[in-house]
Structure 1
Amino acid sequence: MGGNTRVLRKRRLCLALGLCLSCIAVPAFAGNTDGSIVGKTAAGATVTVTSPETGLTRTVVADDKGNYRFPYLPVGKYTLQAEKDGAAVGEPLAIRVSLGNATTVDVGEAVSLEAVKVTGTSVVSAVDVTSTEIATNVTREELRRLPVDQNVDSVATLAPGVNKGVAAFGGLSFGGSSVAENSFYVNGLNVTDFYNRNGFSEAPFAFYQEFQVKTGGYSVEFGRSTGGVVNAVVRSGSNDFHYGAELTTEPADWHSSAKDRYTSDGERYLAASRDEQSLTKLNLYASGPIVQDKLFFFLMYEGRDDRPRNTSDDGTVLTRNASDDGFWGTKFDWHINDKNLLELMAFSNKNSRTGDVYDYDFEAGERGAKTNEIYTDTGGRNWNLTWSSYLTNDFSMKLMYGKNERENFQRSLSDIECNRVVANNQIPSPGVPLGCTTNSAVISRNDDRKAMRADFEWTLGDHLLRFGLDREENTSDYNRYYPGPGAIYYNIYPGDTGDTIDNGGVIPEGYQGYVRARRYEIAGTFESIDSAYYLEDNWSITPNFLLNAGLRLDAFDNKDGAGRSYIKTDDMLAPRLGFSWDMHGDGTTKLYGNLGRYFLPVANVINIKQGGGLLDERTYYAFDGYDIVERDGSRYAIPRLGPQIGPVDDSQGDGTVGDLRSEVDRDIDPVYSDEAILGFQQMLDDKWSWGVSGTYRKLHNAVDDMEISATPQCGGDGYVGWVMANPGKPVTVWGDTDCDGNADGWITIDTSREGWAMYDSEGNYLGQRGWVKPNRSYKALEFQIDRAWDGKWALNASYTLSWSRGNAEGPVNSDTEFDDTGRTENFDDPWVNLGGAGYLPNDHRHQIKVRGTYALDDHWRLGGDFKALSGSPVTGFGVGNPYDATNYHSYFICVENCDGPSTERVYVRSPRGRYGRTPWTFDVGASIAWLTSLGDKGRLQVKFAVYNLFNQQHTIRVNQDLQTTIGDTVNDTFRQPIGFQSPRFAQLTVSADF
């Protein structure tokens, strides 16, 4: 096999210069920005690992049993050599350290079992008997061989059990969880959107070196997630200078048209065929040494020309968008000495987009007058500084501090120039539109995370102790107001001279009507502090049996606009327990398992919308008719204001934060999930491995808004109002204890039995009703087979059979499009979720994924990616229920006497999933790449990829409102398809590396 042959023990490795595309289960004992090397050699031997790329050298001494360990090694290639008494123990070995993994290498006499030979350019997919978690690793080089679109979501969905969310607001669902339960890290910096927890700060593909997608059983250093974790590291410099460029282009002509959608009678309801997408990106990078063997840099800039255009659903409005902001990113590595490493990572994904809005004739394809400009600012700067240190042979430390910024601000010319105007239907029409905007709010938000953590590793004989702490300060600067000059919303009401209006004023003589000029603003700075401590013991009880036991202690503190704790939960103990059994003692067959608890923080949107400083200022004027104004060739009307009537009324909110004790449960409990995993894995030969695992997850609790309309005090008539609490549990709030109408003490309502008042059709009080407890369970069997890349071909195939069932999807509702995390409709009152148990929106019974690469020769490679996903349940939501008149979604439909009193209406249950499922979706990606050398050190790759090769545009989402009002009429648009697979598109990527 040539001069690069190495003889290695069969029992341990994914090794040599790469990691298999998707090891079925990967080791747990490594940091979140690096990896480690562990193994056995002669007792007392000196083991040295050296990076040929950077010169980094570290040395440890094996203990009296021959065990050695190198923690906190940067991802990359290494050479490992052991010596004892001045003589080499075994041969030098070429090793690749991958993200989040512990590569196990036995050296010299420790290698006593049947061996396999591995060339320096081969990869072995092996069983790792130190693993108790399930994750998928993908490197930059592996992605260049596959047809994977250039975004993190596409990488994450390579992993079994991970799918894109079914709702219009997108996101990723891990193991049946909602899209608002995941965490995303770049070089150890948490970049998850903490406002709504759906999304993250993303960098271009060319900035990343490796990804790890954790789908279950992850260690105690990771928390704040009841879904999954996507962990990534960025590229670094070395002792050799490198530079290059990558051009990616997706011309509009390479995008197939989306289909227009029509009702059964031929009426178009979705105009999409004239939408267009055009994208071009040019990426330039350079890396190398500033000081040889000491200080290294990586610099990257990406220019982007992104020009999508889209029509409104009815085809009357066309918006042409343009965005040409560039991305920059950098990484500096300072090897202070062989025991200390300092890393600085920074990038900016700040982006500004302008959308020109026109009137549009869809049938003719003709653009009319320009009516508006929309400006959208997103992204921000991100950076962190990490210090890794070997304090002793057995004790290591890593410290990190960083910041993550996310801006979200959308406004338009009409928002600047136009107030919103609405008139009562008794006010005579001016003959032209009222106002020149229909936007009800302008919202600006800047999210700023400060993150700090300390991680330690301490080897004590057969025990590896890992412990640390992390803290995040998440701050949102938020401002919401009405559009137009003065941020005023005008409402026009009828009235006669002498009439008394809402603020006690009287309409003056000569005027017929009045105008309410309203300022409604929420502004402030809202902070959440998430902190945790963790301790983990990895105990090798026998040479073949490993026990992993950990504890994580979480605390979440969400503060209101005045800086006071609003929702605070602490002392959240999350145990994790795992095992791995090397069944035959030769590393070829493994049984492993994991039990764990995971807690989810409360999103910042709750602080802002429930605990902000509200200004509700209402000024009243006499209505003196309309002024007709022209803007961009269009005429519109605004009210002419007469004299002010009465005082300014700010009784609903004066801009300050009031006493919120009556609006949040004093003893609120967090959302958490319990998980159990049992798996089996086996090597078939030096390249093939297969495995099967079973996963059970159960989500406990919900933090959501509930309307408490009755309390045990005051004969059941005590009204509390809207409260953030745990549905189905006792709720303690500041309320009226002596029935005098004033809040004066703490009251407790057991919401499993009470809290909602029931009345008959004549208004007589009938008693109270309580809430059901939220629940969600996920059960899955996962089968996977993997063939590692050997320079010729690679293959990974998986099948997941799963069930996701309960009465709560999670902090968001995909089927009813509620995306405010923790403020769903699900628990507004006890009737909303009555009879709501069943299969949940992210329940896909079958998932099949196959991907692979084949090298035709030294220059040509083929890549393929296939995904098949069964559909999600379709529910027919009604309005109201047999027990109470309500306007919320419900799992009942009215079939008789629907226009009569609520007590006479006849309802039937409409359970989850009663109307079948959306169809299966099939997605095929294909690529062909040509590679050639450019001189002695250069490489050129031209890759052409096609996504959704067969242009499948199957339905993935339908309208699930069976009834939209209390009545026996079925909604005409029920089950109408409203979401579809993206059309086929092609992508050309040309990259030159030197």
Structure 2
Amino acid sequence: MSSTRTLRRKVICIALGLGLASLGAPMAFAGNNDGSVVGHAQPGAVITVVSPATGLTRTITADQRGNYRFPFLPVGEYTLSASKDGQPLGQPRTVTVSLGNATTLDLGASSNATELSAIQVTGNGLPVIDVTSTESATNVSRAELVRLPVDQNVTSVALLAPGVVKGNASFGGISFGGSSIAENAFYVNGLNVTDFYNRNGFSEAPFAFYDQFQVKTGGYSVEFGRTTGGVVNAVARSGTNEFKGGMEVTLEPGNWHSRADDQYDANGNRYLTASHDQASLVKTNVWASGPIVKDKLFIFAMYEARGSTPRNTNNAGTTLTANNSDTGFWGTTIDWNITDSNVLQLMAFSDKNKNTGDVYSYNYDTNTIGTRTNKVFSDTGGKDWALTWTSYLTNDLSMKLMYGRNEREAFTRSQLDIGCNYVSANNAFLQIHDPGVQLGCTSSSTVYERNDVRKQARADFEWTLGDHLLRFGYDHENDTSDYSRHYAGPGAFYYNLYAADPGDTISNGGVMPAGYDAYVRARRYEIAGTFTTKNAAYYIEDSWKVTPNLVLNAGVRNDSFDNQDAAGKSYIKMSRQIAPRLGFSWDVAGDGSTKVFGNLGRYFLPVANVINIKQAGGLLDERTYYAFDGWDYQTLNGVQYAIPKLGPQIGAVDTSQGDGTVGDLRSEVDKNMDPVYQDEAILGFQQMINSQWSWGVSGTYRRLHNAIDDMEISATSQCGENGYIGWVMANPGKKVTVWGDTNCDGTADGYLTVDTSKEGWAMYDADGKYLGQRGWVKPKRTYAALELQLNRAWDEKWSMNASYTMSWNRGNAEGPVNSDTDFDDTGRTENFDDPWVNLGGDGYLPNDRRHQFKLRGTYALTPHWQLGADMSAASGGPITGFGVGNPYDATNYHSYFVCVQNCDSPVSEDRVYARSPRGKYGRLPWTFTLNTGISYIQPFDGGEFRIKLAVYNLLNQKRTTAVDQDLQTSISNSTSETFRQPLGFQSPRFTQLTMSVNF
């Protein structure tokens, strides 16, 4: 090889050191909170890596082929040197270790080889395709985020990655690769901080606490599991031998926020009041770091005082809630270099928050605040910590042990919880029965308290055996929810009001009596208990260097999930969930500049704790229906309000969703239930154009197998219509084995199997004659995507990252939540309650965004001034017109049929329906977001002053992101007046000023 070719290879390899791995060495992997350095040297050479910041020193010997590897290195800058027989081999090199990646550095095959001085690549100069060839990931450093206009939260960082979009429902969240928002995982320093109650959310430290992020959008390796969406992996800042400190102040004054728009219906009636909402935020962050004992013991500590005072009106504009949150956040890391081969780290932070909301009567027209009517208290967050021990056991064997605790509190209550019921009504009702005053006397519908505690332990090992790198480990979690919930007010009732016509059949099967045009649903919803889920996994993976340019990767993960009831007994238990992961990486040119990679993998999703609570916790969900008999006007604190008068009861009390007792769980859970899992295939190409520019293309295909959802089995093959079992957690469209009546004597006496693809739901004609059974469709979801990207690394002058994703997300099941119907009860969707709900439900799913463009970058005008921008554009999701009922025997739920003739007939066979498939009514509009920022930087002796002014949504786009998709709300030959009415919108423009001093 010529010296020119050698030089070119080394330039590229060092540029790739932030993430692009040259395949001349064994496959590079790293754990949850660190990175690695790999490469070649002379066989038998002694390789030493030193952290100038902490003095951490590790030394190994290259094997007989010259391969060397330093696993489990904390992120940061290192100096690498080599020697043999006491003589140095060239000059020391500087390398950068980034989160979850491998830095590849060849030290030369001989002492006479041409050497290259260190090349520094600062910031995130990486394509988003994972450079280890088993993951698709985007790395974002704190240094890059300081330059860019990215809002100070983890969600905003995740949205920088291609294929990641915002959820379009009121419960928020983000979707990775077509998955629902309830399928993701979030880690900080290896600690899983994902919300395990309903998997929507995560614990989050103050933004200044983080050092680096890695957003994994697919193909992640075997140490990651319990997700069929994406992974956000973060590492916290650490102390060094140098004493450092700083302060950062972030200001978002309320008058720097553009106001949202009020929304009016076709008749000019205001149905969403938002123009009087306002928010203000002040954050002051102070931090310090340095050595406790030089080269041995270090600390980083920070405290953030946060004052947040948002105020918002209710939809009608009759009440205003002034919130106040003034809670201190803190975080720390302590690193102890016990020896050069043993490191102990403690990471801890608190995201506890206490918010108080003062509720006032409000006059929208005069913008007048009246009497305070209530006070709402909300406590969230908790303390999180992880203790990690990393050890080099031998030259070839390394170990990392971690134990941690993640806490999440959710406690909401108000001063009116005892005396006031919550009352709500849809627009159709209010158009005929507007009381002229506020509904009910409380803005807090639910009194609930939940404390979630995760106890996590894991062990990870790496063992180099010649051309094989063996990685194996164990991961265990105990996820416990202590839960209590009920509605506010006398009797703990929540009143919902609906318009209906005489003779209409309502949700419980009752018929509206003559003389009434509306009804009241009085609902009690109560549950309490302590519930635990135990998750465990073993994994092993072999990376085999078949040739100098080809690496094959084969691994397997074995997961088990054990959901327990309030008594600590297992009621959903699934083991031996075998998840194979296969991958390859081919260094095409042999110089690390061009590579082709691919992988196949399987990923399992656990059952959320909300299922333990609602099914195995004695849930009382009692719904009683009454004719609406007018208003009862009352006064409290000088404010008049209305509650409904209850007329005659309609139909029977419905306790089908929970009667307050824990039944025989053998009859409520499929004995042989299969887990939810997804298969994924990725094929990609990546090329370095030069040491700064790179580009890549990849294709991804995902297919979801199975769903776990609640199904009402009303008939069996053994006993026909008399074989009613009830609500069962199972796999729709598959065989279900439950405890039931095997000899048709009305008593459950043994296990029986129902093939729900063919049977399980009893059908009747208009005369009540039993006609036979109907089965469920199987859940389906696929995601196919093509991603293109172009990247330029930061060189103190400018940087840029651009990506385009074209994707298709199809099927009949979005996942464990439904965003198109705004249903976030994870794992208990309407989709499979009976066979008719999802009949004809194939089509483009809510998270289908056909086109996504993302562009971000920074340009240094002068050494003191920088411009930054972050732009995204995405096509809208599909709009479906949901109906009520179907051509067969059901009259409720969101269905894919609408009644078009004889809709007033109580006989289902007389009604005529037309199919209303997914996406029939077009798509939501494209959304465009442009964030811009300008920074002034002034270095001074030993420090730096920086001020950044960022404007988010500069063009003040307020496009619709969600609409009402209920085409019909009752079985009638009419379209709901609120169908396609906008419900969700882009956040208005706001401005953020950040001032920091670091020294």
Q: Does TM, normalized by the shorter one, top 0.5? A: yes
- Report the Cα distance in structure 2 between the residues aligned to 1:143 and 1:617, rounded to whole angstroms: 50
State the secondary structure of the residue aligned to 1:12.
helix
1:564 aligns with 2:578: no
CA deviation vs aligned residue, 1:704-724 (integer Å, no higher than 9, x gap): 000101111223321111111
Equivalent residue number for residue 703 of structure 1 = 708
Deviates more, 1:355-364 or 1:602-611: 355-364
- Equivalent positions of 1:172-571 (< 5 A) are 172-418=174-420, 436-437=441-442, 441-484=446-489, 521-571=526-576
After superposition, give the CA deviation of every residue in 1:607-658 in whole Å (9 maximum; x if it has no partner).
001110357999xxxxxxx99996423478999xxxxxxxxxx999997644
Q: Partners in 1 of 2:320 and 2:195 — Cα distance?
A: 30
**In 2, Cα distance between the equivalents of 1:684 and 1:939?**
34
Other structure's SS at 2:460 match: strand
Residue aligned with 1:613, SS = coil
Aligned CA distance change for structure 1 residues 290 and 988 (closer, same or farther; 3 Å): same
Distance 1:133 1:434, change over 3 A: closer
Rounded Cα–Cα distance in structure 2 between residues aligned with 1:276 and 1:546: 56
* Cα deviation 1:281-308 (Å, max 9, x = unaligned): 0001011111111110011100001010
Is 1:589–1:681's contact at 8 Å kept on the other side of the alignment? yes
Number of the residue aligned with 1:684: 689
1:877 alignment partner, one of 882, 889, 892: 882
Quote the Cα distance in structure 2 between the aligned partners of 1:303 and 1:37: 38
Give, in whole Å, the separation in 1 of the partners of 2:489 and 2:705: 45
1:734 is aligned to: 739
* Corresponding residue SS for 1:9: helix
Structure 1 counterpart of 2:10: 9
CA contact (8 A) 1:377 1:409 kept: yes
8 A contact 1:126–1:588 mirrored in 2: no
Give the C-alpha shift of residue 885 in structure 1.
2.6
1:800 corresponds to 2:805: yes
Distance, in Å, in 2 between the alignment partners of 1:294 and 1:874 is 59
Measured after TM superposition, the shift of residue 548 of structure 1 is 0.7
Is the Cα contact below 8 Å between 1:82 and 1:89 reproduced in 2? yes
Unaligned ranges ≥5, structure 1: 1-5, 21-25, 423-429, 492-515, 619-625, 640-649
Tell me which moved more, 713-722 or 567-576.
Answer: 713-722
Compared CA separation, residues 375 and 538, structure 1 to 2 (3 A): same
The aligned runs of 1:816-855 (5 Å cut-off) are 816-855=821-860
**What residue in structure 1 maps to residue 817 of structure 2?**
812
Alignment of 1:841-920 (within 5 A): 841-900=846-905, 901-920=907-926
- Matched with 1:750 is 755
Contact 2:933 2:948 in 1 (8 A): yes
Mapped contact 1:456–1:468 kept (Cα < 8 A)? yes
Distance (Å, rounded) in 2 between the aligned partners of 1:177 and 1:130: 23
1:319 match: secondary structure: strand
> Counterpart of 2:145 in 1: which secondary structure?
helix
Partner of 1:155: 157
Residue 611 of structure 1 is matched in structure 2 by 616
Q: What is the rounded CA distance, in whole Å, between the counterparts of 1:834 and 1:652 in structure 2?
A: 22
Deviates more, 1:214-223 or 1:310-319: 310-319
Q: How far does residue 442 in structure 1 lie from its aligned partner after superposition?
A: 1.6
Q: Matched residues in 1 for 2:524 and 2:884: separation?
A: 33
Matches within 5 A, 1:63-74: 63-74=63-74
Give the 3-state SS of the residue equivalent to 2:909 in structure 1.
helix
Cα distance in structure 2, aligned partners of 1:831 and 1:359: 44
Counterpart secondary structure, 1:841: coil
Residue 593 of structure 1 contacts residue 679 of structure 1 at CA under 8 Å; is this kept in 2?
A: yes
Q: Partners of 2:200 and 2:194 in 1: how far apart?
A: 8
For each residue in 1:199-229, what CA deviation from the matched residue of structure 2 results, as whole angstroms up to 9, or x when unmatched?
A: 1001111000000000111100000010000
User: What is the one-letter code of the residue matched to 2:368?
Assistant: E
Q: Are the aligned partners of 1:9 and 1:112 in contact in 2 as well (CA < 8 Å)? A: no
Post-superposition shift, 1:518?
A: 11
2:719 aligned counterpart, secondary structure? helix
Cα 1:611–1:328 shift into 2, 3 Å: same
Look up the match of 2:500: none
Counterpart residue type for residue 917 of structure 2: P
**1:28–1:218 contact (8 Å) kept in structure 2:** no
Counterparts in 2 of 1:431 and 1:142: CA distance versus 1, 3 Å: closer
For the 8 Å contact 2:886–2:897, the answer to whether it is kept is yes
> Secondary structure in 2 aligned to 1:849?
strand
- What secondary structure, in the 3-state scheme, does the structure 2 residue paired with 1:690 have? strand
Q: Which residue of 2 aligns with 1:171?
A: 173
Deviations 1:384-419 (Å, cap 9, x if unpaired)?
A: 100000000000000000000001111111114446
Letter in 1 for 2:749: D
Q: Distance in 1 between matches of 2:690 and 2:657?
A: 72
1:731, distance to aligned residue in structure 2 (A): 0.6
Letter in 2 for 1:913: G
Determine helix, strand or coil for the equivalent of 1:466: strand
CA distance in 1, matches of 2:762, 2:457: 47
Q: Distance in 1 between matches of 2:180 and 2:656?
A: 39
Secondary structure in structure 2 of the residue aligned to 1:206: helix
Kept in 2, the 8 Å contact 1:13–1:125? The answer is no
Is residue 984 of structure 1 aligned with residue 986 of structure 2?
no
Q: What's the offset of the Cα at 1:87?
A: 1.2
Residue 108 of structure 1 deviates from its aligned partner by: 2.7
Conserved? CA contact 1:77–1:97, under 8 Å: yes
1:534 partner SS: strand
Which residue is 1:960 aligned to? Answer: 965
Q: CA deviation at 1:737?
A: 1.1
Distance 1:836 1:56 in 2: 58
Deviations along 1:115-137, one digit per CA (max 9) or x if unpaired, are 98764465795799743211000
Change beyond 3 A, Cα 1:75–1:656? same
Take 1:980 and 1:517, find their aligned partners in 2: how far apart are those partners? 31
> Aligned AA for 1:288?
G
State the partner residue of 1:581. 586
C-alpha distance in 2 between matches for 1:974 and 1:319: 29
Map 1:87-106 to 2 at 5 A: 87-106=87-106
Question: CA 1:28 to 1:709, structure 2 compared with 1: closer, same or farther past 3 Å?
Answer: farther
Amino acid at match of 1:209: D
- Write the distance in 1 (CA, Å) between the matches of 2:818 and 2:311: 29
- Structure 1 residue matching 2:374: 3-state secondary structure: strand
TM-aligned CA deviation for residue 740 of structure 1: 1.5
State how far apart, in whole Å, the 1-side matches of 2:379 and 2:10 are.
54
Cα gap change, 1:382/1:129 in structure 2, threshold over 3 Å: closer, same or farther? closer
Q: Secondary structure at the match of 2:208?
A: helix
Moved more, 131-140 or 698-707: 131-140
Relative distance call for 1:119 and 1:457 in structure 2 (3 A) is closer
RMSD: 3.1
Cα 1:114/1:802, change in 2 over 3 Å: farther
Letter paired with 1:202: E
Partner residue, 1:507: none
Quickly say closer, same or farther: Cα 1:770–1:121, change in 2 above 3 A: closer
Shift of 1:524: 0.7
TM-score (norm 1): 0.90
How many percent identity over aligned positions?
68
Rounded Cα–Cα distance in structure 1 between residues aligned with 2:460 and 2:88? 33
